Amino acid sequence: MLKKNKNIVIKKPVVLLVLDGVGYSKNRVGNAVNAKSMPKYHLLMNKYLNTRILAHGKAVGLPSDQDMGNSEVGHNAMGAGRIFPQGAKLINEAIKSGTIWKGKIWQEIVKRMKKKATLHFIGLLSDGNIHSHIDHLFALIERAKKDGMQNVRIHILLDGRDVAETSALKYIDQLEQFLKKVNDNYFDAKIASGGGRMEITMDRYEANWKMVEKGWRIHKEGIGRYFENASEAVKAYRKEQKGIIDQYLPGFVIAKDSKPIGKINDGDAVILFNFRGDRAIEISRAFTESNFKYFKRGKFKDIYFAGMTEYDGDLKIPQNYLVSPPPIENTIGKYLADLQIKQFSIAETQKFGHITYFWNGNRSDKFDDKLEDYQEIPSDKQNFDKKPEMKSLEIANYLIKAIKSGKYDFLKANFANGDMIGHTGDFKATVKAMKYVDRQIARIANEVLDVNGVLIITADHGNAEDMFMRDKNDKLIKKAGKYLSKTSHSKNLVNFTIIGKKIENYWRINENKNNGLANVATTILNLLGYQKPDKYANSLIIRK
């Protein structure tokens, strides 16, 4: 049990707002998070305690400080109170040490492939390092050849979201050049199908099963528009749909003599080489669930499916995976449940898993049903730039109602707008999104102050503040007289603000250049009147 801090004036409730994808940047151009679009938020930051913290790279468990943060590792770090090896770093270590090849899952695949079946790889083809990395695919293919496999087919998902929005041909060329080097009279590896990540396969939180069904038909059954190669498909779609970006490219099938070259047949094995869980769960379920009900899959048997890692630890999705995720125990959610502190969590579908599952250390179940209330607001099933407000109003209304109820000592919410609209590359829509969020922040802040509580506002990573491409010298890049859109996350710091009546009389900011999202949990516990748990990162505040 945690020890209480003595002689602390405790203000309850403590409310946390995570502004997903809302980082900090000094730049004016391409910054949708400026004082004009978010005037109320900036007034609050200037009036109350505020600092900036790290939300990318090593500060959230990624391999290097050149790696962008993301929502999964960001919420893991905030909820865990410390840093664990994450995503690409976890896979890099497994490949370097060789443990991935020594594991029983890879060995089972090697055993099955001796029957001359085909090994299929499905995943995001880029070096964005958020969902996958092309180097991991290369390592898997090389090892497949070394271990005596003969037939490999690759089903590529095109990015344009975590990397430049029209960079697909670059990655396809890299893969094709790699395949030329490894292919020989014995080993045959080819691209078999593909499509944009927001069109096929990579849905999340059951928002759009049609995407997954499209991917199933294309990858598994070879049903789709035929092309001779992947580059031809991309070029054709770009010619037909002016201005289309990679993530929205339709699906395609590579065929020879009017027959798909890479259908997934009984006896084959499939590896989903994405390491991030949220957009990997549904396609994993399609391959593995016996009572699957979301679309008609047709008859199949004996397809051995494995994920790069375990995508959901509680639901055991998938059952087979190459690299075990880090065990994250003693999260702040667990401590608060043990302390009998009533909690409330809310987000719309697109980020609901982040404020619950990832926050709780990759745990689907609650720690205590009687102490934790979850509220999911269904996301719109349309392109988010068409409705940039998303569900910000509904989230704020529910959150304010929960605050007014007096039932909860800790409440947390996620506003998805900065991330989801930022990923579209539509700057004007993102500015509108931030204006909507700004209004809700003001409403929530007023309510928290009225009940003499404390409001914390931060973000899990940057995005909306940095929406135009820049060169190595930090100069804006123009194409045809327009700034080139940036759809990926940023490596910028994020703001951390604490709002409360006379809060500055009790606390001051604990400034440190290494402060990051892992420091948030101890800060919350301090505000609730408890000391830092063992192994947790230090608090972002110091008692005056």
User: By three-state DSSP, how is residue 175 classified?
Assistant: helix
Please give the full DSSP string across 297-320, using - where no structure is assigned.
--S----EEEEEE-SBTTTTBSS-
Residue 455 CA to residue 412 CA, distance in Å, equals 10
Residue 489 CA to residue 495 CA, distance in Å, equals 15
Q: Which helix (H) or strand (E) holds 415?
A: strand 410-415
Are 392 and 417 in contact by the 8 Å Cβ rule? The answer is: yes
Task: Tell me how many degrees the CA angle 416-128-272 measures, rounded to the nearest 5.
Answer: 90
Q: CB neighbours of 502 closer than 8 A, spacing ≥ 6?
A: none
Residue 162 CA to residue 463 CA, distance in Å, equals 10
Phi then psi dihedrals of residue 112, to 5 deg: -70, -35
The active-site residue, picked from 25, 37, 71, 193, is: 71
Q: Which helix (H) or strand (E) holds 437?
A: helix 427-450
Residue 253 CA to residue 230 CA, distance in Å, equals 8
What is the distance in angstroms between the CA of the first residue and the CA of the last residue of the chain?
25
**Beta-bridge partner residues of 50:** 497
Tokens 């800790």 correspond to what residue? 410
HSE-CB for 370 with a 13 A CA cutoff: 3
Active site residue 132: no
What residues act catalytically?
A: 71
